[in-house]
Amino acid sequence: MILRRLRYEIVSRLVAPALLRITKRRRSQGGTGATSPLGPPLESRHKLKELMSAHYLGGRFADGAVPVAYVTSGFPVELLRPFGYHVVYPENHGALCSARRLVPQLSEVAERAGFSRDLCGYARADLGSLLSGSTPTGRLPRPDLLGCCTNICQTVLYWYRVLADRLGVPLVLIDTPFVYGQAPRAHLDYVAAQLYEAYATAARVAKRRADISDLEVPIRLAAEGTQLWGECLGLSSHRPAPWTCFDGFVHMAPIVAMRGTVACNAYYRMLRDELSDRVARGIGGIEHERHRLLWDNLPIWYQIRELATSLAAAGFNFVCATYTDAWAEPGTTFDPHHPLESLAMAYSHVLLNQDLKNRLRVMTELARRFQVDGAVLHSDRSCKPYSVGQIDLKERLQRDLGIKTLILDADHADPRAFAAAQVESRLAAFMESFR
């Protein structure tokens, strides 16, 4: 156990950063590449890659060295930090698989095992990876605990039940009733009671003592981290915006996978400072920003670069997104002095666990704050809870704000559900409407 822990720490803290520095040097000697309508790339991307690569590389050696948990993106990960868990997010892993265009082959494995092609692409990619042992990270550690929260969708519950059954490990479920307006006290008490039980279970699995006061540090760090992330996003209110929401989709990885850690916060301070410097120097995320847009729903992971480039060439910059903003909002209610109550409040009021009226409020505020003149609503085949109501949202944004809107049919993970010619023609018509 001691040797395994030592190996895990060495790989995470020393080996992974060293490998990334070598890779960075080799790439810096390879030339500058072709001219792009995008602005100069962020220097912080090198630290981001180092940080996330260390996370995944360390994960190869985590089981047997430290307790390991697989959790959904909406799970209150702060509960696990006091016990030293190495945390894996299958959704993050699914996004990585999608960016590497591996989802079709992993999905086919899952589909041959009887899972429907209509399931979320993240779920199919994860289950296909589990069944085949194939992953772009080399190896995922075996979990000791599964943590699932229903505040993003119900699919995660059934997905994690399959994982629990196949892996033979305990599953902790946090059930968050859907919120209309503000959650009533009974609702928050119900969620807080589950959080208490989850905390005790996490301690028992990790063979550690459970003391609620130990939550103070990770919750304080999580609150600070979400604030820093919000500050990074907020800098796009300047003209030109110093980055694009497509950049934000990539740079949000630490606030999802490493929330509540010192390393996460240190990264966002670096990113904030770089973005602030770009604002001061007038450097934009694209070369010639003429129109500012809002993006709704998850990104199309396997198409991010292509979409960003084609839109930038026409002077369109996505300066804000409901998806990236969703990781800044809940942290405003974190309170280290009332850990379980504030976690119940924060995780009950995530974007997808609230009514359509709140979605419209969020989108309206983003549109006004970032001075957008258009919005693209990604109707995501893989994320039906996020896509429901978009026709109504589109009409309200057009009527109330007078901005141009487009609903774009695609899939956040599986390129088999992406019609390139159709997307290209619809985007071309949308951009033409601004002339």
Cis peptide before 240 (omega within 30 of 0): yes
Residue 333's pLDDT is 92
Angle 259-261-23 from CA coordinates, rounded to 5°: 90
Q: Which residue in the block uniquely carries the two structure tokens 């919000």?
A: 230
Handedness of CA 54, 55, 56, 61 (dihedral sign): positive
With 90 as the cut, is the pLDDT of residue 175 above it?
A: yes
pTM, two decimals, is: 0.93
Least confident of 18-22, 100-104, 243-247: 18-22
With 80 as the cut, is the pLDDT of residue 254 above it?
A: yes
Residues 293 and 81: beta-carbon distance below 8 Å:
no
What region does 211 belong to: left with phi over 0, alpha with psi -120 to 50, or beta?
A: beta
Residue 24's pLDDT is 56
The pair of structure tokens assigned to 27 is 């790439």
What mean pLDDT value characterizes the chain?
93
Q: Are strands 171-174 and 316-321 parallel, antiparallel or unpaired?
A: unpaired
Residues 157 and 168: beta-carbon distance below 8 Å:
no
Residue 66's pLDDT is 96
Residues 220 and 14: beta-carbon distance below 8 Å:
no
What are the pLDDT digits (tens) for 372-408?
Answer: 999 999 999 999 999 999 999 999 999 999 999 999 9
Sheet architecture: strand order including 171-174 = 86-88, 68-71, 145-149, 171-174
What are the pLDDT digits (tens) for 93-144?
Answer: 999 999 999 999 999 999 999 999 999 999 999 999 999 999 998 889 999 9
With 80 as the cut, is the pLDDT of residue 6 above it?
A: no
Percent pLDDT > 70 in the chain is 92
Confidence band for 7, pLDDT divided at 50, 70 and 90: low
With 70 as the cut, is the pLDDT of residue 32 above it?
A: no
Residue 35's pLDDT is 79
Any long-range contacts for 20-23 (C-beta under 8 Å, 24+ apart)? 20/46, 20/49, 20/50, 20/53, 20/54, 21/50
Confidence band for 22, pLDDT divided at 50, 70 and 90: low
Residue 86 bridge partners (DSSP): 68
Find the largest Cα–Cα distance for the chain. Answer: 66
Any long-range contacts for 129-132 (C-beta under 8 Å, 24+ apart)? 129/93, 129/97, 130/163, 130/166, 130/167, 132/106
The pair of structure tokens assigned to 415 is 């390129």
Report the pLDDT averaged over residues 281-290: 97
With CA atoms as reference, report the closest residue to 70 among 165, 130, 141: 141
Angle separating helix axes 44-59 and 16-28, nearest 10 degrees: 140
Report the pLDDT averaged over residues 38-60: 93
Report the pLDDT averaged over residues 399-427: 95
Angle 20-126-7 from CA coordinates, rounded to 5°: 40
- Cα separation, 23 vs 28, in Å, equals 9
Report the pLDDT averaged over residues 190-198: 98
The pair of structure tokens assigned to 349 is 């009021």
Least confident of 46-60, 139-153, 351-365, 375-389: 46-60
Least confident of 12-21, 297-306, 359-368: 12-21
Handedness of CA 223, 227, 228, 230 (dihedral sign): positive
Handedness of CA 215, 216, 218, 219 (dihedral sign): positive
What region does 406 belong to: left with phi over 0, alpha with psi -120 to 50, or beta?
A: beta
With 80 as the cut, is the pLDDT of residue 299 above it?
A: yes
- Burial status of residue 5 (CB atoms within 10 A of its CB: 0-12, 13-18, 19 or more): middle
Q: Cα-atom radius of gyration of the chain, to the nearest Å? A: 21
Q: How many residues does the chain have?
A: 435
CA of 273: how far to CAs of 231, 259, 402, in Å?
Answer: 10, 19, 34
Residue 209's pLDDT is 94
Least confident of 26-35, 67-76, 223-232, 346-355: 26-35
- Burial status of residue 425 (CB atoms within 10 A of its CB: 0-12, 13-18, 19 or more): exposed
Q: How does DSSP assign 105-139, residue by residue?
A: HHHHHHHHTT--TTS-HHHHHHHHHHHH---TTS-
